[in-house]
Structure formats: structure tokens, C-alpha cells
Amino acid sequence: MIDIHPPHHGGITRRDFFIHLFTVILGILIAISLEQTVEYLHHWHLATEATHALGEERKQNEGANDFNIFATQHHERDLQHDLAVLDALRAHRPIPPGPFILRLTTSLYNDEVWQSIRQSGTINYLGSHIAGGLRFRHTVEDGFTELSKRSSDDLAHAASVLRTSSDQPGRTFEQNMAFSQFFRDFEAAHQNLPQQQIDAAWATMAESGNVAALSPAEIDSLQRAIQIALADDDARLNDCFTIKRNLTRNPEY
């Protein structure tokens, strides 16, 4: 036979019930608070790392944008000179001196950090103002890059009228390396290189074909392509100025 002993304490009172309930609720609230604190610190850490990385990326893109402004303005002057050459050919006047340059050179914008924080969701921890400013700037940078690629391709195709069966390679590896070194020197000097050095570097991009051998129809075709490229340059330059304005207004990112 099983002996059943009565409990040594009295029944649970209403006061004991509410104390126990309060203890349980307090424990839950403490656990939730600790979890939220840990999550907040984690998000703060991610945001801090992202802000630092974005600052480094910003410096790179600021330098790239300054070069793109310079290069686009230089390209516009090159194309204006090219139009003067074609006008002289059409009118049988002496050709203005200087290299016939169609090629476009740009510096690429870096978006590795930007893409990373977007894909990871870290952008949500930076604040709407920062996220909006970054999104706008990178959208403009992407537009500049896309337009530059299309415009460069169109000019390259238009320049095909200068090709002949006796053409030599238009660009060598040594020239590519030399221009790359010029770009690094130019960036390090904050665009303060001697004009003679700049002109010499740009002259390596001159077309090798004989412009004087173009037919009237080829002159017209090339002229139209250059006019379109000038319009593209205006749009690209406007993008650069928009990017520069955004960088100026947001000095930290």
C-alpha cells in the first residue's frame, strides 16, 4: 500500500501566483533585452565597419571622378580639333596641327563595398539619409560608365573608315603600360603634371590612319559620329559634376 503524505506547505495564494508570474515575465523581458542589446551591438559593429570601408571607397571614387572630369574635358577639345581637321579637308584648306584623337579614356568607379553592403543588408543599419545619398551617387556613376562604354564603342566603329590593309597595330603593350604609369603619376600629382607631359601621354592615343585619304562620304560619316560623341561628352561631364556635388555634400561617405 502506498502512503500519501499531505504537503508541508499551504496552498498557493493569489499573492504567490502573481509573484511567480511577475518573476517569469521579468525573466522573459531581461532575455529579450539582452538579445536586442547583442543584436544592436552587432548591427552597430557592422555599420561601423561599413562606414570605414565606404570612406576608403569614397576616396578612390573621388580621385576617379576628378580624372574623369579632366579626361572628358580633354576629349571634348580633341573632338573639336578633329572637327576642325575634317572641315579643313572638306574645304581643301591646310590641316590644323596636332594629333587626331578619337579615343576616350576614363577611370573606373569602385563599387565593391557598396554592392557588398547592399547584398548583405548592412545598408539598412546606416540610416536612410546615408543610404539614399550612396544609392543616388552610385546610380549616376553606373550611368556614366554605361554611356562611356557605348560612346567609346561608337567612336571606335566610326574610326574604322581610317583602316587600311597596311595598318600596323594601333596600340602596343608598351604604350598601354606607359599610359598606365602616366595615370598613376597624374593621380599622385593631383593633376599638376607639366602640360608637355600630359600632351605627350595623350598623343599616344592618336589614330594611325591617314585622315587626308578619306572620301567626302567618309568625312561626313566620321563628322556625324564625332558630333554625337561631343553630345555624349556633355552628358558624361554633367554626370561627373553631379557626382562631385554629391561627394562635396557628403564628406564622410
Predicted confidence at residue 69, as pLDDT, reads: 96
Q: What is the pTM for the complete model shown?
A: 0.81
* Cβ(89)–Cβ(213) below 8 Å: no
**Could you tell me the pLDDT band of residue 170, with boundaries at 50, 70 and 90?**
low
**What is the rounded distance in angstroms from the CA atom of residue 121 to the CA atom of residue 46?**
10
Sequential DSSP letters for 63-86: HHHHHHHHHHHHHHHHHHHHHHHH
Summarize pLDDT for 102-111 with one digit per residue, the tens: 999 999 999 9
CB-CB neighbours of 177 under 10 Å:
10
- The answer to whether residue 116 scores a pLDDT higher than 60 is yes
pLDDT of residue 52: 82
58-83 pLDDT, tens digit per residue, is: 999 999 999 999 999 999 999 999 99
High-pLDDT (> 90) share of the chain, %: 49
